[in-house]
Every structure is written in C-alpha cells, then in structure tokens.
Structure 1
Amino acid sequence: MQPNIQHSSKPVVESNRGFQVWWQMTRPHTLTAAFVPVLLGTALALKHGKIHFGLFFAMLIASLLIQAATNMFNEYFDFKRGLDTAQSVGIGGTIVRDGIKPKTVLNLAFGFYGIALLLGIYICANSSWWLAVVGLICMAVGYFYTGGPFPIAYTPFGEILSGFFMGMLIILIAFFIQTGTVSSTSILVSVPSMILVGMIMLSNNIRDLDGDKENGRKTVAILLGKKGAIYLLTGMFTFSFLWVLVLIITGVLPVWTALVILSAPKAMKATKGFFENTIPIKMAPAMKATAQTNTIFGFLLAIGIFIGHYL
C-alpha cells in the first residue's frame, strides 16, 4: 500500500531478476504472521496427545504460501491501481523497480494458492472436510484484501479481518487438525496473536496514511488520525501482554509464558518510532519493530507452552 504517484503502467526496468528480487516479492518480514500461529496452535495441542508432524508441516507450508500469495496480490493490484512507483517507500514495487511482469506476479500468486489447495486436501483427508470451507474462505480474504472492486484494505476492517484469519483462525486450525476439536484455551490463547497480526496491518496504514487518504481509503489510521492510531497500537500492545498475564494468573497458561515480556522492547521501539517520525521512509523501522514484536511474542509464548508441558 503505497502513496499514489502517477507512473507509466510499463515496468521501468527489465534486468535485476536474481533470487533476492523474487524473495523480496513475498515480503518475508510478514511471513512470520503465518508461521507463528501454526507453531502456537501445535504447541497447545501437545497436552492432548502426540503431534502429527505431517499435518504440522502441511499446515505450515500452506499458511506460508497463502501469506506470500496475498502479498503478491497486493503487489499486483497496487501496481494496477497506480499506487506503486520506482520511488515508493517499502519493499513493495517489484513490478516497477525490478521489471517483473505483472502477469508473472499474478500467476505466481495463483500458483501458490494451487499448491496450498493441494496441501489442504491432504489436511482435510486426515482431519475434517469442513476445513475445506474454512480454507477457501481464508484464500478468498487473501485475494480480496487488495483485489476486487471493494478491497478490504481500503476499509476500516483490514486489521480486524487480517488479525482474525491470519492470527486466531490459523491457531485454531493448527490445533484442530491435531486434536479434532477447538478448546476454550486455544481460543483464549489466540487472542494476542490476532491482535498483533492486526497491528502489523495498522503499522503499515500509519506509515501510508497520507497517501491512502489521497486515494480515498478509509482505514482505521485515517479515521483515527496518526496520533490516535499510534495510541491504539500502543494500547493493543499493552493489552496483549496483560492478556497473557491474566491467563497465567487464572492457570490457563504456565508461568513460563511470562517470557513474552522479553518482546516488550520491540513494542516500545515501534510506538516510539511512529511518534517521533512523520516521513514514511523514516517510519519503516517502526513497522519492522511491529512485525518483530509479533514474531518474538509468538515464539516466546510457544516456547513457554512447550516448557510448561515438559516440566
């Protein structure tokens, strides 16, 4: 999601096609939003029996592919709508900077969806075919986040839907395929993940606030204003830590999950970076810190659950 600067619809370069270009097109800093929930859901399933590693890896790869494909749809539709230029801030803009053909990006995204669909068939065959419906809805949300006539990213619901589908729902699916059920504990533990994944989207929208406003978007950041959006980000970070504390006190989570506090410095770096900077490119470190908060928080939460299970 980049500022709207008019440009030619023809890519500006045709050379740099190394692995780094293709890797950056997946927007790797966002992929942890798919990896961490799978790990968390699987960690929670431990006390219900042995882990089916075939299902774990199938779910992990499918989630990563859907996330990468969603990023590529974002890349494609931002280009089509004239939002990406060679001067755009961020790692988006592979089409205009690196000469990758738009059709190639779109086909690759659908190819990733195809592989994820095959993995989904394996998962459903070993768990429940009802998951096919859930998986297709997740894929539809990934496409319509920036695709279609009314992109979700242009509305105030981007953070909520991305958090729910890429945070909470992935945890619940990962838990379900291992246990055959969804427990109240898995729902409660998935709440911080849902919030932090949504905050990755919010941080992106804070950075792109001015450009998004010019393009008629109605994101949460635009509706609240920059300062209000940063306060919301700060509040959601705080809520996530307090939520884990409450779950520890009530015995839902082991005391080892208090390790999540070690991710607090990244959260503070993110909020401080947004408060102190107004230029989009200078807010990039704050965006990165937001994504890192989600990653570190989720890993530490999973580690705490693992330790609590074995000790």
Structure 2
Amino acid sequence: MTTSLVEQSNSKLWLAAIKPPMYTVAIIPIWVGTAVAYAETRNINGAIFSTFLMSAILIIAWLNCSNDVFDAETGIDKNKAHSLVNLTGNKPLIFALSNLFLAVGILGIVAIAWWQRDLTVIGLIFLCCALGYTYQGPPFRFGYQGLGEIICFVTFGPMAVAAAYYSQTQSWSINCFAASIVVGIATSIILFCSHFHQVEDDIAAGKRSPIVRLGTKRGSQVLWVFSVSVYALTGLFVLLGHFPIWTLFVFASLPVALKLCWHVHQHHDQPEKVSNSKFIAVGMHFWSGLLLSLGFVLTSG
C-alpha cells in the first residue's frame, strides 16, 4: 500500500514536471495562423502544417526543460518538487535533452523553409527562440525583471501566429495580425497566473514578477482586464471586418474565463488554493483559441 502511494505521488510529480496541458501553448498559435490562411486561400498544405505543429511542440519542450535548468541555477525552484532538475538530480542531463528538443524542432522549421525556398519562417522562429531564451536564460533573465508576459505575448502571439500563416501563404495579413493579438493576450494570461502562488519564492530569488510588483489583490483585478480584453477585441475585430462573424463562437469559452477570474479573485493570497489557476488559464487559452480557429474555418472566405 505504501509503495503504491509513493509511486502514485511520483507519477503526479512527473506529470506536473512534464506539463502536458502546457503544450497547447505551442498548438494554438499554429492552429490559428493556419485557420486564417485557410479562410483567405481555401487551401492548407498538410505536410507543412503537421511539421510546424511537431516542431512547435518540441520547441516548447526545450523551453520548459531549459527553464527548469536556469531556475535551478538561481535557486528559485528549491521548493518546487516537480522541477525536472529536482526530480532527476541531474541538471546536465535535462539541459542536454532540452537542447536536443530544440535542435530537432528547428530541423522541422528548416525543412519547411527548404520546401518553400524561403528563409522567412526560419527567421521568425529563430527570433521566437531567442526571445524565449532571454526570459530565463543568462545573462538576460528578463523574466526576473517582470518582462515575461511581454515576451510571451510577442513570441506566442504576433510572431508565432504570423509564422504559421506565412508557412501556408508566404504572405502577410492584417486579419492574421488581429488574431495574433487575441492569442498573445490569452497566452500571457497563463504566465501571469503562474506567479500568484509563488510570491515568497520570487521575492527570495529577486524575481520582480508582475504579481510581486502589483501585489496579489491588484494582480487579480488586472487579470479581469486582460481576460475581458480577449472577448472585447474579438467583438471589435468582427465589427471592423477583420474577423468573420463565426469567430464570435469564442464567447462559448467565456465561462472558463469567468471561472478563472473569480477563482483568483477569491484565493489570490492563498498559494495552495490559487496554484491551479494557471491550469484554468490553459483551459481558457485552449478553448478560446480553438473556437477562434473554428470561426475562421467555417467562414465562406
């Protein structure tokens, strides 16, 4: 019985360390960019789409693993049982695996560029990776200065969505840019929510996250603004003609957003109760992105 409980506990720690739900952060920008391309061209290159999707997942794996390594170096994860470095006790191994994930992911992007005879997508993804590195990687560690949400918005919003769109069309689109803003905000909300339960550890490590700067109560109020903006901007872009009417399906994810905001509002200063808020935010990001994509796919062009 005791052995079984220990195994279950270890399994939960490994699942938390691997973060399966977080890989939707890689999937949604590719879906949205490709959906906009389909709405405008009525065509999708399946090989490019699937290759891009797998590459994005591998790049997120690199980001997650390398961030655990960089956080281990600053000591901010000393109380984080589900850190990959803490679970394995082997920082060089996790760092090597992270670099392997990155290399294979980049190979997929290189393949797309080769098929297209165009280096634009490589340039965009290289820049995304460079910005992703600056979030936690030395000597930058911009996440410790409270800039993580901005980096997250740019990389997983305008840059990633544009790269997915360009991989299908080899062109640019104002409609795609509008969609990328919505995706970028929804993605940044996930990172924003991840800070509420670790204020003490962040302060001890010198990390000036937005929640450290704002305080948990004001942070919970700002969360309402960010969340409402996802739906307000969708409605605005429909009115302006950048989004088809079908994208209003995104409002079906509003209950998840309200659940997130209310949960954080109630428990913003209770680390044990608010720690799951980032996973509710992942749900909001996934469903809003999926429904937004569906709206573009269903449009008649």
Report the Cα distance in structure 2 between the residues aligned to 1:19 and 1:54, rounded to whole angstroms: 35
In the alignment, which of 277, 291, 294 is matched to residue 282 of structure 2?
291
Q: Is the aligned partner of 1:205 residue 2:195?
A: yes
| Contact 1:256–1:307, Cα closer than 8 Å, also in 2 | yes
**Residue 4 of structure 1 corresponds to which residue in structure 2?**
none
Equivalenced residue count is: 291
Gaps of 5+ in 1: 1-14
**Residue 67 of structure 1 corresponds to which residue in structure 2?**
60
Report the Cα distance in structure 1 between the residues aligned to 2:170 and 2:96, rounded to whole angstroms: 34
**Residue 20 of structure 2 corresponds to which residue in structure 1?**
28
Q: Is the aligned partner of 1:120 residue 2:109?
A: yes
Instruction: Tell me by how many angstroms 1:297 deviates.
Output: 0.2
Alignment deviations for residues 184-226 of structure 1 (CA, whole Å, 9 cap, x no partner)? 1110111110111111111112222232122212222222221
| Contact 2:234–2:248, Cα closer than 8 Å, also in 1 | yes
| Contact 2:220–2:261, Cα closer than 8 Å, also in 1 | yes
Report the Cα distance in structure 2 between the residues aligned to 1:55 and 1:23, rounded to whole angstroms: 30
In the alignment, which of 93, 97, 109 is matched to residue 98 of structure 2?
109
**1:150 aligns to what SS in structure 2?**
coil
| 1:87-236 map, 5 Å | 87-88=79-80, 92-96=82-86, 98-127=87-116, 128-236=118-226
Instruction: Tell me by how many angstroms 1:49 deviates.
Output: 4.0
Report the Cα distance in structure 1 between the residues aligned to 2:291 and 2:221, rounded to whole angstroms: 25
Instruction: Tell me by how many angstroms 1:117 deviates.
Output: 1.6
Q: Sequence identity, in percent?
A: 23
Which amino acid is the alignment partner of residue 43 of structure 1? Answer: A
| Contact 1:67–1:142, Cα closer than 8 Å, also in 2 | no
**1:145 aligns to what SS in structure 2?**
helix
Instruction: Tell me by how many angstroms 1:29 deviates.
Output: 2.1
Q: Is the aligned partner of 1:301 residue 2:292?
A: yes
**Residue 240 of structure 2 corresponds to which residue in structure 1?**
250
Report the Cα distance in structure 2 between the residues aligned to 1:111 and 1:309, rounded to whole angstroms: 42
Which shifted more, 74-83 or 235-244?
A: 74-83
Which shifted more, 193-202 or 76-85?
A: 76-85
Instruction: Tell me by how many angstroms 1:22 deviates.
Output: 6.0
**Residue 31 of structure 2 corresponds to which residue in structure 1?**
39
Instruction: Tell me by how many angstroms 1:163 deviates.
Output: 1.4
Which amino acid is the alignment partner of residue 279 of structure 1? Answer: Q
| Contact 2:125–2:160, Cα closer than 8 Å, also in 1 | no
In the alignment, which of 269, 288, 301 is matched to residue 259 of structure 2?
269
Report the Cα distance in structure 2 between the residues aligned to 1:200 and 1:219, rounded to whole angstroms: 13
Report the Cα distance in structure 2 between the residues aligned to 1:19 and 1:180, rounded to whole angstroms: 44
Instruction: Tell me by how many angstroms 1:144 deviates.
Output: 2.7
Task: Compute the TM-score of the two structures, normalised by the length of structure 2.
Answer: 0.90
| Contact 1:152–1:158, Cα closer than 8 Å, also in 2 | yes
| Contact 1:124–1:131, Cα closer than 8 Å, also in 2 | yes
Report the Cα distance in structure 2 between the residues aligned to 1:101 and 1:227, rounded to whole angstroms: 38
Report the Cα distance in structure 2 between the residues aligned to 1:113 and 1:184, rounded to whole angstroms: 30
Report the Cα distance in structure 1 between the residues aligned to 2:174 and 2:126, rounded to whole angstroms: 24
Report the Cα distance in structure 1 between the residues aligned to 2:163 and 2:11, rounded to whole angstroms: 32
Which amino acid is the alignment partner of residue 109 of structure 2? Answer: G
Structure 1 stretches of at least 4 aligned residues deviating more than 4 Å after TM superposition: 18-24
Task: Compute the TM-score of the two structures, normalised by the length of structure 1.
Answer: 0.87
Q: Is the aligned partner of 1:81 residue 2:70?
A: no
In structure 2, the CA distance between the partners of 1:88 and 1:279, relative to structure 1 (3 Å rule), is farther
Which amino acid is the alignment partner of residue 260 of structure 2? Answer: A
Alignment deviations for residues 286-305 of structure 1 (CA, whole Å, 9 cap, x no partner)? 22111110111000111111
Instruction: Tell me by how many angstroms 1:114 deviates.
Output: 0.6
Provide the aligned C-alpha RMSD in A.
2.1
Which amino acid is the alignment partner of residue 124 of structure 1? Answer: A
Report the Cα distance in structure 1 between the residues aligned to 2:13 and 2:102, rounded to whole angstroms: 20
Instruction: Tell me by how many angstroms 1:100 deviates.
Output: 4.9
Alignment deviations for residues 247-268 of structure 1 (CA, whole Å, 9 cap, x no partner)? 2222222222111111111111
**2:206 aligns to what SS in structure 1?**
coil
**Residue 3 of structure 2 corresponds to which residue in structure 1?**
none
More helix by share: 2
Report the Cα distance in structure 2 between the residues aligned to 1:244 and 1:208, rounded to whole angstroms: 32
**Residue 4 of structure 2 corresponds to which residue in structure 1?**
none
